[in-house]
Amino acid sequence: MSWLTHTLNGLAYGSLLFLVASGLTITFGLMRTVNLAHGAFYLLGGYLAYDLATRGTDYWLAMAIGVVGAAVAGMIAQRLLLHRIAGQELPQIVLTLGLALVIGDQILAHYGGDPISPPTPPGLTGPVELGALVFPKFRLVLIGIAVGLALLVSALLRYTPIGAKVRAAVDDQEMARTVGIRVPLIFLLVFGLGTGLAAFAGVWGGAFTSLSPDSGFDVLLLALVVVIAGGLGSIPGALVAALAVGLVEEFGRVLFPGWAMFTLYAAVALVLALRPQGLLGKGAVR
Amino acid sequence: MGSPPYRLRVLAVVAALLAVAACGSRSPSIEGAPTSATAATGGKGTLTVGLLNPLTGPFAALGTDVNAGFELYLKSKGGVLSGYGIKVVKEDEGTDPAQGTTKARQLVEQSKAQMVVGLVNSAIAYAVAPYLEQADVPLLITVAGADGLTRKKGGNTFRVSYTSSQDVMPLGEHTCKTLGHKKAAILGLDYSFGWEAAGGFARAYEDAGCAVVQEIYAPLATQDWGPYVNQIKKDEADVVYVVAPGSDGIRLLKAYRDFGVQLPMVAHGSTVDETTLPTEAGTAEGVISSLHYTPQIKSPANDALVAAFTQERKKSANQYADDGWTAGMVLEQALAQIDGAPTPESLRAALTKVKVESPRGPVSFDAYGQAVYNVYIRKVEQRDGGWANTIVTTVPEVGQFFTYGEEKYLTFPGYDKLKGTWAK
C-alpha cells in the first residue's frame, strides 16, 4: 500500500515539475531563447495571485490575473529586451539572469523575504480516502492537469494553423517571413504563452510547496533538468522526463535517504550519456 | 560622437545610475535610526557598533528583522545607550564565509567598529568569530545557533540567541513527562542545525524515560515533504518531533495535513515562529513547540518591542526582532558599567555581568558567553483572527547545558556523531 502512495506522490511531484517545465520547453526548447528568468515569472504569477487572493479576490479570478499579468510582463520583456538579441545566447543568459535578479529583488522589497504560499484551489484541500489509501486531493488533480496540459499544448503546436506557423517560424525564420508569417508577432505570443504557463505553475506549485524571493532559482534548475532530459522543445518528452524525475526523487528519498540529491542528478547524467539529445529529442536539428 | 542626442543619452544613463546609487545607500530596515551621519553624542563618548547581518540571500528576512530590532531599541533611547552615543555601521553578512569575513574585516579596519553585533549563518559565524577574537573586537551573536560557537570559557564571543539544542531540551522532558507521549518519531533537516536540534530533544526525551523510535532527515530546502511524511511509522510512534525552520516548515506542515497524518506534533520553535506562522495558519494548529520568545509574553518590555516593531515593519514581532532588541539592551547595560572610552577588555568584562529584563524575560550570560533565559513551551492557537503561539508553560533559566551541568555535558560526543543513533 505504501508503494502505491509513494508512486502516486512521485507522479504528483513530477506533474508539478511538468507544469514548471512546460513553459520553459516552449521558450527555451522551441524558441531557443535562453530564459533564465523563467523562475522569476513563476514567482511573479504566484505572488500576484497570492496578493489578490489574500485581499479577498475570488480564487479563480486571482489566478487568471496572475497568469495574464505574468504573460504580459513576459511579452514586454520579449519585445523591449530579448527581441534585440535574438539568436545570441550569451547576451540572453546575462540579460535574463539580470531580469530574474531584478524581479526577485522587487518581490523582496515589496513582499518581504518571509515565505508565502498561495491558497490551495477551493475544494481541493485535505485528503481523499480510497479504502486504506489516504492521498491529498490536490495532488491527485495535479496529475490530471499535467497530462491534460501536455495534450493541449502538443495538439496546439501540431494540429492548429498557429502551431504550424510557430514551427515554421522556429525552423526557418527567413523562409517563414517570405511566405508572410509575422515572425516577431509569433515569437511575442509564444513567449507570452511560456511565461503565462510559468505563472500558472507558480500559482499551483506555490500552493504545493511555497514561494520566497529566492525560490525562483530552485525551480529554474529543476525545470532545466526536465527540459534537457526530455529533449529540447518536445512537450511529450518534457512530460515523460518530469514524471520520471518525480518518481526517481520520490523513491530515491525513500530508499536511499542519505543520497537524496545524488540520485536525481545521477539518473539525469545517465540519460544524457546514453541519449545526448534527451529522451524524446529529435537529435541535432541545427 | 558628441552629437546632442548621444550626449543626452549619456547624461540620462549617468542620472539613472546616480538615482539607483542614492536608493541603494538607504537602509532597507528602518529609517530614522541613527546612522554614521546622524549619530547622537552622549555624555560619556561614542561607541561604534558594526551590525553584520544578511541583507541579501535566503536569510535576508531574518537579518532585516534583527537589524530592525536593534535599531528600534536604539531609536527608543534616542541613539544614546548609558551615556554613549552609538554609531551604527551596517554591512551585509552575505551568503558565504569568505564574504562574511571580508565584511567583518571592513567593519573593523575601515569603520573602526569597537564591537560587532549580528551573524545569522553558523558557517559564517565559525569563520568570523576567530577573526574578531584575533582582531580583539567583542562579538555579540544574534541568531547563529551552532552549539560549538560558545564553548570557550571567558572568550571573545557572546550570544543572546539560542544554541541549536538549548531551546528544545526542555521540550523533550515536557513531551515525555507532561504530555505523556512515550514513543517519538523525529523528522528533521539534514545539516548541523537539524542534527543539534534533533539531538537536544532526543537526549532530554530519552533521559526522561521515553524512546525515540525513528529518525528521518531531509535535505535543506526540500520541495516535497510527501515522501518523508509517508515514512513515519504511524503504528509505532505516538508523537512526531519536527525541526524545519522557514519555508521547509510550511511545506512539511502542508504535506503532514494533506496526507492526513493524525499523530500529535511537537516542534523546535522556529518551525512555527511568526515569520512563517501566518502562511502555515491552520496547518500548524495545535503544534506544541519551545522557544525563548513569543509575542504573547505579557510584560512592559515585550509590549514596547511589539508596539515598535509592528508599527515599523507592519508584521508580527518574532524571535529575531527580540534577538536584536535584547542585544541593544545587553549593550546598554554593559556600557552602564564602564567609564571613559570602552576597551575590548572592559566591554567583555561588563558583558559577562549583564543581567537584563528583556522582552523575553530575564537574560544573563554563562561563563562561556552563552545567554541563559526562560524557554516557553507554546501551543499554536487561533487568536484575534490570526494565529499565535500561546504560552503553555515557562521553563525558567535554561542554559546551554540544561540540567546536565557543563562538565558532564561537554563530555558528550557532538550531535553530528550522534545523528542516527537515537532511534532504538
Q: How confident is the prediction for chain B on average, in pLDDT?
A: 90
pLDDT at position B148 over 70: yes
Range B24-50 average pLDDT: 60
Contacts of B251 in chain A (CB under 8 A): 209-210
Contacts of A258 in chain B (CB under 8 A): 190
Q: Angle B216-B221-B222 (CA atoms, 0-180°, nearest 5)? A: 50
Q: How far apart are the first and last CA of chain B?
A: 79
* Beta pairing, strands B265-268 & B288-291: parallel
pLDDT at position B11 over 60: no
Helix (H) or strand (E) segment spanning residue B116 = strand B115-118
B-contacting residues of A 235-274, CB under 8 Å? 249-250, 253-254, 257-258, 260-261
Integer Cα distance of B99 and B95 in angstroms: 7
Q: Indicate yes or no: CB of B315 within 8 angstroms of CB of A214.
A: no
CA distances from B130 to A197, B97, B212 (A): 49, 12, 37
Q: Indicate yes or no: CB of A138 within 8 angstroms of CB of B231.
A: no
Residue with cell 530579448: A82
pLDDT at position B211 over 90: yes
Q: Which residues contact B329 (CB under 8 A, 6 or more apart)?
A: B73, B356, B358, B363
Q: Which residue has the higher pLDDT, B414 or A1?
A: B414
**Confidence bin at B31 (pLDDT 50/70/90):** very low
Residue with cell 520541495: B223
Range B77-101 average pLDDT: 94
Integer Cα distance of B398 and B169 in angstroms: 9
**Confidence bin at B26 (pLDDT 50/70/90):** very low
**Confidence bin at B66 (pLDDT 50/70/90):** very high
Question: B380 pairs with which residues across the strands?
Answer: B389
Q: Indicate yes or no: CB of B259 within 8 angstroms of CB of A108.
A: no
**Running DSSP on this structure, what letter comes out for residue A25?**
I
**Confidence bin at A219 (pLDDT 50/70/90):** confident
C-alpha cell at A134: 489516504
Q: Indicate yes or no: CB of A9 within 8 angstroms of CB of B226.
A: yes
pLDDT of residue B39: 61
Beta strand segments in B25-83, E: 45-53, 80-81
A6: contact with B, CB 8 A cutoff: yes
Measured between CA atoms, the residue of chain B closest to residue A116 is B279
Indicate which of A208, A210, A265 best probes the interface with B, i.e. most B CBs within 10 Å of its own CB. Answer: A210
Ramachandran area for residue B141 (φ above 0: left; ψ -120 to 50: alpha; else beta): beta
Q: B309-366: per-residue pLDDT in tens?
A: 999 998 999 999 999 999 999 999 999 999 989 999 999 999 999 999 999 999 999 9
Q: Decide: B57 and A214 in contact? Cβ < 8 Å.
A: yes
Indicate which of A117, A221, A225, A261 best probes the interface with B, i.e. most B CBs within 10 Å of its own CB. Answer: A117
